Amino acid sequence: MAFIPHTEEDRRAMLAAIGVERIEELYQAVPQEVRFPELDLPEPLSEMEAAQELQALAEANVDTQHFACFLGAGAYRHFIPSVVDHVLRRSEFYTAYTPYQPEISQGTLQAAFEFQSLMCDLTGMEVSNASHYDGATALAEAVIMAMAHHRGKRTRFVLSPAINPQYRQVVRTYMQGRDVQLVGDDDLDNDGKSLTELVDENTALVAVQYPDFFGRIEDFSLLGEAAHAAGALFAVVVNPLALGLLKPPAEFGADIVVGEAQPLGIPLSYGGPYLGIFTTRKQYVRKMAGRIIGQTMDNRGQRAFVTTLTPREQHIRRERATSNICTNQGLMTLAATTYLALMGKQGLRKVAELCYHKAHYAAQSINALDGYELWNQGPFFHEFVVKCPRPVAEINDYLLEYEILGGYDLGRDYPGLENHMLLAVTEANSRDEIDDLIQALEEVARG
């Protein structure tokens, strides 16, 4: 129990126990000018007044329930069946903590095990962990896993420029202070063929995105073969919803498949919490970070679930640990698992087909407008790039007047793609919303 000093004698005894005479000595490390600042706080509010103030602030935000949304770039608006939220709000899941005691955590463990099984089915890989924080950290952990696999003897990592820019930035943050080379993503023209030319005997990992950040669909079989010929691992970042329609990355030689599971029943929620997918081949399972749930039999011969192959190295090895990932997004894995169980194979494919066809209708219609040009060459999923007649920020401001959230300004991340907008169309976008977008863009072009 914590010791609470009730008298002056108790207070002096406590200070003596930690080796100081006055409590002010505890703040010696804090600069004098910032100690005990006088905060300019507003007058206090009653609960009713505070609720009214917060409600007014919330209503000032633009949200996807009242505006048509065509903004994607890694986080997407999809329809979420109501039963997903109903399952999440059950107290045994909603308040559950990490399953250290399997005998009282069977529901939590089984949910994570089912999630792992579904991720393997989607990606075609052999093993999955119980999730990472999000897609960006999952990719960073793939880089670390490749480094551990090669025992640090290979220091070159080839990244496609068509991987989400935020994911690549997280990788660079993880790699700070390490003697490694990150190459390939500094040139937008680097595609699967040109990335092959960057692979050498010092390459530990080659990573691409499928569909890529621009929505394009590419078969990376040749790049996977080149990576393996050089002894490197091949990683693919996926949109799991697209795998309801496209062939799994395992079919073109992926060793590691990571991604963001937000499209699977997880709301946008102003940026999180989200859910990182991490799957790999069985031969690399002992190099995989994070929690893994296994199925076994208990002493009564009944099916049971446990954490397995979990060295907890992130806790006990400190600076020698290969990863600092030590938990999983349990509630979010339950959301994705519930969503996939509800949809089934046919339902997931139907959603993917709706996204595909609606996006192509929008792209063809916008491409027919004067001043606009479809940038994508070849097949794409539910995102595409449009070259615009005016700055993207200016167009998006105009679209807000029509209660439309426009696309992502690619000029923020890609020099040379100024005035290029990345638009996302999902099954949640109605035909009327798409037609309203087309009409508004046409008005922008007319000035």
Among residues 339, 363, 385, the one where a domain terminates is: 339
Same domain, 199 and 322: yes
In a domain, 172, yes or no: yes
Same domain, 320 and 424: no
**Residue range of the domain that includes 366:** 68-78+345-446
The model's pTM is: 0.89
Angle in degrees, CA 233, 239, 242, rounded to 5: 115
Domain total in the chain: 2
**What are the φ/ψ torsions at residue 433 (nearest 5 degrees)?**
-65, -40
150: confidence class by pLDDT, cuts 50, 70, 90: very high
Model pLDDT for residues 55-80, shown as the tens digit of each residue: 999 888 889 989 999 999 999 999 99
Nearest residue to 162 (alpha-carbon basis) of 423, 419, 413: 413
CATH code of residue 260: 3.40.640.10
Same domain, 200 and 246: yes
Q: What is the mean pLDDT of residues 302-314?
A: 76
Check whether 317 has a pLDDT greater than 70.
Answer: no
Among residues 307, 339, 371, the one where a domain terminates is: 339
Per the model's pLDDT, the better-predicted residue between 319 and 50 turns out to be 50
Same domain, 273 and 335: yes
Nearest residue to 156 (alpha-carbon basis) of 221, 208, 206, 192: 206
Looking at residue 39, its pLDDT comes to: 84
Q: Kindly report the length of the chain.
A: 447
Pick from 102-106, 370-374, 394-398: least confident:
102-106
Pick from 91-100, 333-342, 352-361: least confident:
91-100
CATH code of residue 355: 3.90.1150.10
In a domain, 8, yes or no: no
Q: How far is CA 247 from CA 258, 301, 352, 359, in A?
A: 15, 38, 12, 19
Among residues 300, 322, 339, the one where a domain terminates is: 339
1: confidence class by pLDDT, cuts 50, 70, 90: very low
In a domain, 55, yes or no: no
